[in-house]
Chain A
Amino acid sequence: MLPRDTLPARRDGQTPSVREPRPRLKAPAGRAPVPAQQSLSLTSSPEHAEPLPVARIRPRQLWLCLHFPLLPLEALNNTRNGAVPAAVFENRQGNRRVLLANAAAERLGITLGLSINAGLALAPSLQLEERNTDKENRVLERLAGWAERFTSIVSLELPDLLLLEIRGSLRLFGDIEALRRQVENGLQEQGFQPSMAVAPTVLGSIWLARAGGNVSIVDGTNLAGALGALPLRCLEWPESIHESLTGMGIHCIADCLRLPRQGFARRFGAGRLLQLDRALGRLPDPRRSYRAPERFSEECELPEEQSDSELLLEVCMHLLSNLEYFLTTRQIEVRHVQFSFFHLRSSATHLSLGCRQAGRKKEQWFELLAIRFDRLALPEPVISIRLRSSRGQALQPEEGRLFRTRDRGYSRSIAHLTERLSARMGDDCVYGVTTAAEHRPQYAWTTAEAEPQASRLTPCAAIPNPQAHSPLLLADIRRTSSLLLRRPLWMLPEPLPLTIREGNPEYSGPLKLLDGPERLETGWWDGNGIARDYYVAVNPKGIHLWIYRNRNKEASWHLHGIFG
């Protein structure tokens, strides 16, 4: 048996030079953290007998970092158009200085740090807008939602980074290059110019992207070399640290890695050392992945105050198509959405739309919106429109027919009609009906949702045989019609007091009682008790009426229904 101290040397010796990287990658995962006194150097210099644990990263991960250096500019709508010189300025202690300028503005000499007065002197047509970090964050969040189409792990790194774990997506998209192209094209379509880099570690990809991007490092062994060449600026460390490092003659990450670990940690903080370790994959770097919101909420700002309804509807349609995409990707649908129209001076106008059947199709919502929008009184021109949705519910798959014999009209259900009607009339005005088990005429029915599946029929006092309530047994009802209690087809919403002449009730002339009385009483359980004698009466014009005499008060006659 060999002595213990020879083991490392032996192992070094055993490692064939051609395959040097492999054992490092396959180093056991359970190895203890790197001792602090070790050098940061990765290159296996002869002074170090022990090889450094490089491969603590799980080789399964591959991060695509999207860095948006122009985000302050891109987040603002007005500065989108590249042909117009535009710049974003920042207000620092009353000094308004240019933060970022687009290409057209740069050609005119607008540069970082220029005061805006100087900028306007150089380019009078310069469009200036103040930086809006809230908006940048919203835009970045929206992009995170968009990027979920490429991978299930998207991490948001404010203020200007998106991280996509793409190892798991490579097979679907072909290879890294194909995936990158798709991401890039998609972002360019939306008006963003990201710089992109791929690396096995999160920080590695971030730094590479910040340095200008267009780098793909798949193999962990190439990472140290690629990162080492990066300037210290990419680390975005505080200016003081940066200065002292530069003063020490350290200009790139590789220089940094050559410093003794302990001294580095003492001078610049253990956090910075941790960052370097994580970037090289020596320590794990867990990230919180982005979780899309449960509800849809998006605001669209208009370039100027707008009162033209067609244009506003167009913006609403745009929001609705975003909503549809949001719902489709989550396989949910919603029953309520709310539009808010914001004005410059007065408070916002809200417009809530509800559907009987949950939906996600933009056309469906747009149709409801168009019905309501006509009658919406906007007090002022609109500066921005927001669309919010209620909490979603699981998507109900549509019932399809194998053979659709006719398309017009019938493909839509009754819910579609009731939605449109209630959008215009109001929810209370459109309803179905059902009977209730109650002997008092005014409580013998209730409203119900008008929906296709409805077939609830509760027992009804007007029909003696409870079995007769299914539509199939209606023939029985007809056969037993002599047993039926007389009920009018028209009911008055409120009983109408009748005038009385010579002891007889009158309604367009003296009434003649034909049938009755049917005595209906009590209702003590809800305090609305009645004591009435109902009669069928006919007036001189031959109209049959359903009237009652209140037995509580003497000679009080009321009209309750009309036999249509």
Chain B
Amino acid sequence: MSDALLNLLENPRVWRGRQPTDVSGGSLAVYPTGYARLDCHLPGGGWPRHALTEILLEHYGRGELKLLMPALARLSSAGETSLGDGQDNNRADHYGCSDEKEGWIAWIAPPFQPYPPALLQWGINLAHVLIVHARQGVEALWAAEQALSSGNCAAVLVWSDALDNRASRRLQLAAEKGQSLAIAFRPLEAEGQASAAALRLVLTAGEKGTDVRILKSRGGRPITVPDMIHDYAPVSAPDYER
């Protein structure tokens, strides 16, 4: 490419559809999901950091936790270890947070009890698990916003039926402020609603397992990844290590 073209492309005002960028103009920071097949369809190759991700599903138990576990396992044992690849590392240093992040994972208003022995099997550091039994609805959103913007939590999972476009915007801003990964679980009916989330996934029953449909992804395109999750046990080591 000619220098003139490169200069033009470096101009932050030029938006490139397939080039994942975040608001500040740098390349999109992500946490790898731990599922290589899914990563290659997600912009940047993983869960968008410091942003809201929505997971829409019909029934609990569709594999929504399994999908998150590898990334959460890495986040929860983070703190002393670096996250992601080298590029991300620099980025973390740039924000000065790489050594201060405590790796807490907040579960806000979970529909059932998250079962610690199983979490441990998935590699979650239980010392960094915070469970908040908020009443459903607005209180759960309030708690999620507090947890996100406090900056202590590496990830915040929230179950709330009161989530709407305005609330998603608030959570998105809180995630940016606290530099946390925000995951909201919503019913399938929310598919038609607008949302400020950076990434929206729909989990549906597939032929052999659970299909993951990317409903919206900032800097990516909608696509369906079939049979993403097909077992109930922890993923095997090679896939996990990625």
Q: Mark B221-242, 1 if CB is under 8 A from A, else 0.
A: 0000000000011101100110
Q: Which residues of A lie under 8 Å from residue B122 when comparing CB positions?
A: 489
Least Cβ distance of B116 to chain A in Å? 4
A271 interfacial contact with B, CB 8 Å: no
Query: A445 vs B147: C-alpha distance in the bound complex, in angstroms?
Result: 24
A170 interfacial contact with B, CB 8 Å: no
Nearest to B178 among chain A residues (CB) is A409
Q: Which of B60, B232, B233, B241 contacts A481 (CB 8 A)?
A: B233
A3 interfacial contact with B, CB 8 Å: no
The answer to whether residues A487 and B150 also contact, given A432-B127, A433-B131, A477-B121 and a CB cut-off of 8 A, is no
Would you call A417 and B59 a contact (CB within 8 A)? no
A 399-445 contacts with B by CB, 8 A: 405-406, 408-410, 412-414, 416-418, 420-421, 424-425, 428-435, 441, 444-445
The answer to whether residues A417 and B61 also contact, given A405-B96, A477-B121 and a CB cut-off of 8 A, is no
A 440-464 contacts with B by CB, 8 A: 441, 444-445, 447, 450, 452, 454-457, 460-463
Q: Which residues of A lie under 8 Å from residue B113 when comparing CB positions?
A: 490-493
Would you call A543 and B112 a contact (CB within 8 A)? no
Query: A477 vs B70: C-alpha distance in the bound complex, in angstroms?
Result: 13
The stretch that binds A, out of B8-16, B36-44, B97-105, B189-197, is B97-105
A209 interfacial contact with B, CB 8 Å: no
Q: Which residues of B lie under 8 Å from residue A486 when comparing CB positions?
A: 232-233
Q: Which residues of B lie under 8 Å from residue A412 when comparing CB positions?
A: 150-152
Would you call B147 and A421 a contact (CB within 8 A)? yes
Would you call A478 and B120 a contact (CB within 8 A)? no
Would you call B177 and A481 a contact (CB within 8 A)? no
Nearest to A406 among chain B residues (CB) is B96
Report whether over half of chain B's contact residues are helix, strand or loop; otherwise say mixed. mixed
Would you call B118 and A489 a contact (CB within 8 A)? yes
Nearest to A460 among chain B residues (CB) is B117
A500 interfacial contact with B, CB 8 Å: no
Would you call B127 and A429 a contact (CB within 8 A)? no
B143 interfacial contact with A, CB 8 Å: yes
Q: Which residues of A lie under 8 Å from residue B153 when comparing CB positions?
A: 414, 417
Least Cβ distance of A409 to chain B in Å? 3
Least Cβ distance of B114 to chain A in Å? 6
Q: Which of B118, B120, B139 contacts A469 (CB 8 A)?
A: B120
A124 interfacial contact with B, CB 8 Å: no
Least Cβ distance of A238 to chain B in Å? 66
The stretch that binds B, out of A23-31, A98-106, A214-222, A556-564, is A556-564
A545 interfacial contact with B, CB 8 Å: yes
Least Cβ distance of A426 to chain B in Å? 9
Most chain B beta carbons < 10 A, residue from A471, A481, A541: A471
Q: Which of B73, B100, B119, B232 contacts A563 (CB 8 A)?
A: B232
Q: Which of B127, B131, B134, B233 contacts A457 (CB 8 A)?
A: B127
Query: A410 vs B119: C-alpha distance in the bound complex, in angstroms?
Result: 26
Least Cβ distance of A516 to chain B in Å? 12
Q: Which residues of B lie under 8 Å from residue A474 when comparing CB positions?
A: 73, 77, 123, 125
Q: Which residues of A lie under 8 Å from residue B146 when comparing CB positions?
A: 417, 420-421
B 137-170 contacts with A by CB, 8 A: 139, 142-143, 146-147, 149-153
Q: Which residues of A lie under 8 Å from residue B126 when comparing CB positions?
A: 432-435, 457
Q: Which of B114, B130, B142 contacts A418 (CB 8 A)?
A: B130
Q: Which of A460, A477, A543 contacts B62 (CB 8 A)?
A: A543
Least Cβ distance of A527 to chain B in Å? 23
Q: Which of B76, B125, B131 contacts A430 (CB 8 A)?
A: B131
A 513-564 contacts with B by CB, 8 A: 536, 541-545, 561-564
Nearest to A543 among chain B residues (CB) is B61
Q: Which of A425, A428, A452, A481 contacts B134 (CB 8 A)?
A: A425
Would you call B132 and A564 a contact (CB within 8 A)? no
Would you call A536 and B232 a contact (CB within 8 A)? yes
Nearest to A413 among chain B residues (CB) is B152
B129 interfacial contact with A, CB 8 Å: yes
B48 interfacial contact with A, CB 8 Å: no
A145 interfacial contact with B, CB 8 Å: no
Would you call A431 and B131 a contact (CB within 8 A)? yes
Query: A238 vs B3: C-alpha distance in the bound complex, in angstroms?
Result: 105
Query: A445 vs B129: C-alpha distance in the bound complex, in angstroms?
Result: 13
Q: Which of A431, A432, A462, A479 contacts B118 (CB 8 A)?
A: A462
Q: Which residues of B lie under 8 Å from residue A561 when comparing CB positions?
A: 112, 115
Would you call A450 and B130 a contact (CB within 8 A)? yes
Q: Which of B132, B177, B234 contacts A425 (CB 8 A)?
A: B132
Would you call A435 and B121 a contact (CB within 8 A)? no
Least Cβ distance of B145 to chain A in Å? 11
A497 interfacial contact with B, CB 8 Å: no
Least Cβ distance of B71 to chain A in Å? 14
With contacts A444-B116, A450-B130 known, what are 15 further pairs, Cβ within 8 A? A409-B179, A425-B134, A428-B133, A429-B133, A432-B127, A478-B234, A486-B233, A489-B65, A490-B60, A490-B115, A541-B205, A542-B62, A542-B205, A563-B61, A564-B64
Query: What are 27 of the A-B contact pairs (CB < 8 Å)?
Result: A405-B100, A406-B96, A410-B152, A412-B150, A425-B134, A429-B134, A431-B130, A435-B120, A450-B104, A454-B127, A455-B127, A456-B127, A457-B120, A460-B116, A462-B120, A463-B120, A472-B77, A474-B73, A477-B120, A486-B232, A487-B117, A490-B110, A490-B112, A493-B113, A542-B206, A542-B209, A564-B66
